[in-house]
Chain A
């Protein structure tokens, strides 16, 4: 027992650091193995949000004692990612504070992690109630939290008695099998009997780490039992409700009862159906036919990348929810190009994009409705007083839209540098979620690739996006002659609920004016 505590003191939990305003980011790669010796700042896992993937480094060196996450887990700030065993020197001289803590405790105390037990075929079950608090003394089998799935709510009992030292979940968290709920400090004789049954935080077996539930053998069957009494077919519903459900084709196990003792009432059934009818926008869309393409020739099936899939979902939502209008314009950029070449000769490389960014900010200042978002009720417009631009970037993994912040405060060269850095990060998949948040307006430039025009999709919740195609020298009639003029094709898509055609047109006219006389950027 004493040995165990000493071992524990040498173990350091490496928690997920602040990764921006993100919850529930999925683990897509684990870069270390148990037993690996790692140095500070070595990457330990790769996370992927709906916007980007990022590698998480360890803040300190050590030997990996345990890996607390598995691929596919959704984790958030503060979740323990791995447990690190300090190097030998550290072990010999444990930190004074740690030692003191140990001494002040009874020698036969032990911290036991209570994780989500096997609750049946459920994933991501929401915490709707926390039934205990830090410092509470709980007895074995006391309920500690209530989880609610779409099928049922269930109270999760603690497998051990003791004092709650910390609670790792909060209301609304979605938990899955093996997620840490809380830690309990067990004391007394009961512990020594149970040591073999429970899983102390430190020396958990690697294979069972994600499932380190730690219920004692005596309590485990009861947990299983509580599940086996909740088979889907035995919903709490009277024969008439079962009949109605059958007639309208509702699986009662998916309906939450609001009647006495959770009985499913007819209003529950009707409410469930109503909810499906009102929420199922995608479901009501006509499906495209399934075609076996291989009968026309050789085919190959390639999985979409995660970013493809995630951005696809987002783009569909934007495209379906926003009434789009796209208008086009061509800008004379002879003057801008001349200035750009001048700077280039001086060794300063500026892409047309940084000029466009500055010009867009100038135009947005004049037309604040394009730097805005609709609120939840869709009855108010939230005008943004900051000028952050999303820049759509092509990466090997798919489309990402990092955000360049406070563009109005940055010089052309500063922007050029930042853009170069950001696109490098984007290509390497190193963008952090925070790097991709907070835009008020987006620019999608295909100028380097080609094309005369395209219709960009508004990046909701923003209300407008500018599409830039390749500049071309065109003969422009000045009244007497055709003058060869370098013209830049622009396409502005906007949310017609927020911006009407005249306003879109005026924004475009102003943008055109600024870009064709870049001195206006200074105004």
Chain B
């Protein structure tokens, strides 16, 4: 059975459904292929959204605990793990249901099944006789958890991020393999629910792509709360024993062996480029599963576009959404293009870590002359009043032009605060643009302006490093 369509989108994650909806709104007849029952992809089902639901639960628990400092003491919480899980599932259900309704309202034909190319204008749906014949295609097939084959992955005690979000139970001792954003977010959740956390990270720093000084407040905060954080340490092997998962470490500070009740392996994600028979359409896929695209999201095949995780790092929903609109608009004849100057990154840990633009590491590597301003939140009235002192805001500027190059924030709500920096970068603000913008007092957003004033030398709430 051949179904003809003008535009087909493979994958219904934030990129896929956005592309489908935008193309439909611009008058195209659209087919959206999704292998799972629920629309929304990793982000809605087993990523951003469920993790944030759980992180909110964690935040409430932690804040209640810390309330004793404020002179208010709550009893130890009773945790109904089923209730926590169902809250999360409710939220996910609402959102994916909403996507389904929106698809219907736009008359997007949703096809459930695993789509693979059979030519540059046909996709076959696995385990059915359905073939989608398309004029234009947008590949939004995303990424999957990277697995290490030597680990006993069949054992339910060895989890990936999807398993961890299932929240089957709260293990007593949990090992997180990989100190990146996903691992640390899940550590935050499980720690608040009562697990004793150990984090093992191969590199010398947690969240390796961010600047170390921005991650440091988080590191110091969780170091006290977690059993161990082993940096520069490798997991050599894992063995599933009755009493737990026996892990062999290779690192200076780690013991050679330790046994954990559960292990979360969160060492990254791999692009799905090689799982859709792209070569049958003539689409080039690199060794890592990524598909190369131009600024209009076009692949090497004229009528085939690709967006989201499958086209490269950073694997972030908000990047995919923007790319999706570009691809859909280009297909509909608009002169669209992806020319964003920056894609912000956020770790929803406690405290949060967020950055946009260039990091100091990148500026050094690229040999760009820069100036920086660092404002410690210990000097922020707002930060102190919410009982947190560990945060820091750092802004980076071009020495010659004073133009903002990047910003990094660690602290409560850093993920919200980074929006200002992102806009500033897109608008090409310089130091004084930000410093002369009045920020409400007392707010955490003030720390952005303060960090700029530190660079400018105009700060009064602290001693400026240099006066101007």
Q: Are B339 and A242 in contact (CB under 8 A)?
A: yes
A236 to B402, CA, bound (A): 13
Q: Are A261 and B336 in contact (CB under 8 A)?
A: no
Taken residue by residue from 426 to 455, chain B's Cβ proximity to chain A (1 for < 8 Å, 0 otherwise) reads as 111010010000000000000000000000
When A225-B400, A229-B401 are in contact, do A246 and B335 touch as well, CB less than 8 Å? yes
A153 to chain B, nearest CB (A): 13
Chain B residues with CB under 8 Å of A225's CB are 369, 400
Q: Are B426 and A239 in contact (CB under 8 A)?
A: yes
Taken residue by residue from 241 to 261, chain A's Cβ proximity to chain B (1 for < 8 Å, 0 otherwise) reads as 010001101000000000001
Answer yes or no: A226 CB below 8 A from chain B CBs.
yes
The contact of A239 among B340, B368, B398, B401, by CB within 8 Å, is B340
Chain A residues with CB under 8 Å of B337's CB are 246
Chain A residues with CB under 8 Å of B398's CB are 229
* Residues 336-365 of B at the A interface (beta carbon under 8 Å): 336-337, 339-340
Q: Are B430 and A261 in contact (CB under 8 A)?
A: yes
A423 to B337, CA, bound (A): 61
When A225-B400, A226-B400 are in contact, do A249 and B427 touch as well, CB less than 8 Å? no
Answer yes or no: A374 CB below 8 A from chain B CBs.
no
Interface size class on chain A is: 10 to 19
Closest residue of chain A to B295 (Cβ to Cβ) is: A246
Chain A residues with CB under 8 Å of B369's CB are 225
Q: Are B335 and A238 in contact (CB under 8 A)?
A: no
Chain A residues with CB under 8 Å of B368's CB are 229
Chain A residues with CB under 8 Å of B334's CB are 247
Instruction: Report which residue of A247, A261, A263 has the largest number of chain B beta carbons within 10 angstroms of its beta carbon.
Output: A261
When A229-B401, A239-B340 are in contact, do A247 and B335 touch as well, CB less than 8 Å? yes
A107 to chain B, nearest CB (A): 38
Chain A residues with CB under 8 Å of B428's CB are 236-238, 263
* Residues 204-242 of A at the B interface (beta carbon under 8 Å): 225-226, 229, 236-239, 242
Q: Are B335 and A229 in contact (CB under 8 A)?
A: no
When A225-B369, A238-B427, A238-B428 are in contact, do A246 and B400 touch as well, CB less than 8 Å? no
A243 to B368, CA, bound (A): 27
Closest residue of chain B to A257 (Cβ to Cβ) is: B428
A261 to chain B, nearest CB (A): 7
Q: Are A246 and B430 in contact (CB under 8 A)?
A: no
Chain B residues with CB under 8 Å of A263's CB are 428
Residue tally, chain B, CB below 8 Å to A: 16
Q: Are B340 and A229 in contact (CB under 8 A)?
A: no
* Residues 89-141 of A at the B interface (beta carbon under 8 Å): none
B1 to chain A, nearest CB (A): 40
A236 to B427, CA, bound (A): 8
A489 to B110, CA, bound (A): 85
Q: Are A249 and B335 in contact (CB under 8 A)?
A: yes
Q: Are B400 and A229 in contact (CB under 8 A)?
A: yes
Chain B residues with CB under 8 Å of A246's CB are 335-337, 339
A292 to B410, CA, bound (A): 66
A254 to B335, CA, bound (A): 19
A238 to B340, CA, bound (A): 10
Instruction: Report which residue of B337, B339, B398, B433 has the largest number of chain A beta carbons within 10 angstroms of its beta carbon.
Output: B339
Chain B residues with CB under 8 Å of A247's CB are 334-335
B169 to chain A, nearest CB (A): 47
A263 to B430, CA, bound (A): 11
B126 to chain A, nearest CB (A): 39
A246 to B334, CA, bound (A): 10
Chain A residues with CB under 8 Å of B400's CB are 225-226, 229
A129 to B352, CA, bound (A): 49
A263 to B433, CA, bound (A): 12
Instruction: Report which residue of B336, B368, B401 has the largest number of chain A beta carbons within 10 angstroms of its beta carbon.
Output: B401
B401 to chain A, nearest CB (A): 6
A94 to B369, CA, bound (A): 50
Chain B residues with CB under 8 Å of A229's CB are 368, 398, 400-401
A354 to chain B, nearest CB (A): 65
Instruction: Report which residue of A225, A226, A249 has the largest number of chain B beta carbons within 10 angstroms of its beta carbon.
Output: A225
* Residues 375-424 of A at the B interface (beta carbon under 8 Å): none
Q: Are B426 and A238 in contact (CB under 8 A)?
A: yes
A225 to B401, CA, bound (A): 11
B343 to chain A, nearest CB (A): 13
* Residues 278-311 of B at the A interface (beta carbon under 8 Å): none
A247 to B330, CA, bound (A): 11
Instruction: Report which residue of A237, A239, A263 has the largest number of chain B beta carbons within 10 angstroms of its beta carbon.
Output: A239
A249 to B401, CA, bound (A): 27
A249 to B336, CA, bound (A): 11
B326 to chain A, nearest CB (A): 10
Closest residue of chain A to B427 (Cβ to Cβ) is: A238
A33 to chain B, nearest CB (A): 41
A236 to B398, CA, bound (A): 14
Closest residue of chain A to B432 (Cβ to Cβ) is: A261
Chain B residues with CB under 8 Å of A249's CB are 335
A226 to B400, CA, bound (A): 7
Taken residue by residue from 222 to 247, chain B's Cβ proximity to chain A (1 for < 8 Å, 0 otherwise) reads as 00000000000000000000000000
A242 to B341, CA, bound (A): 11
A126 to chain B, nearest CB (A): 22
A238 to B429, CA, bound (A): 10
B334 to chain A, nearest CB (A): 8
B112 to chain A, nearest CB (A): 36
Chain A residues with CB under 8 Å of B335's CB are 246-247, 249
Chain B residues with CB under 8 Å of A238's CB are 426-428
A242 to B427, CA, bound (A): 10
A246 to B339, CA, bound (A): 10
A232 to B334, CA, bound (A): 24
Closest residue of chain A to B340 (Cβ to Cβ) is: A239
Closest residue of chain A to B401 (Cβ to Cβ) is: A229
Chain A residues with CB under 8 Å of B401's CB are 229
B454 to chain A, nearest CB (A): 21
Closest residue of chain A to B296 (Cβ to Cβ) is: A246
A247 to B433, CA, bound (A): 28
A263 to B428, CA, bound (A): 8
A249 to B334, CA, bound (A): 12
Query: Could you list 19 further interchain pairs (A-B, Cβ under 8 angstroms) beyond the known A239-B427, A249-B335, A263-B428?
Result: A225-B369, A225-B400, A229-B368, A229-B398, A229-B400, A229-B401, A236-B428, A237-B428, A238-B427, A239-B339, A239-B340, A239-B426, A242-B339, A246-B337, A246-B339, A247-B334, A247-B335, A261-B430, A261-B433
Identify 26 residue pairs between A and B in the complex whose beta-carbon atoms are under 8 Å apart, listed by A's number.
Answer: A225-B369, A225-B400, A226-B400, A229-B398, A229-B400, A229-B401, A236-B428, A237-B428, A238-B426, A238-B427, A238-B428, A239-B339, A239-B340, A239-B426, A239-B427, A242-B339, A246-B335, A246-B336, A246-B337, A246-B339, A247-B334, A247-B335, A249-B335, A261-B430, A261-B433, A263-B428
Chain A interface residues (CB < 8 Å from chain B): 225-226, 229, 236-239, 242, 246-247, 249, 261, 263
Top-7 shortest CB links A-B: A247-B335, A236-B428, A239-B426, A238-B427, A246-B337, A229-B400, A242-B339
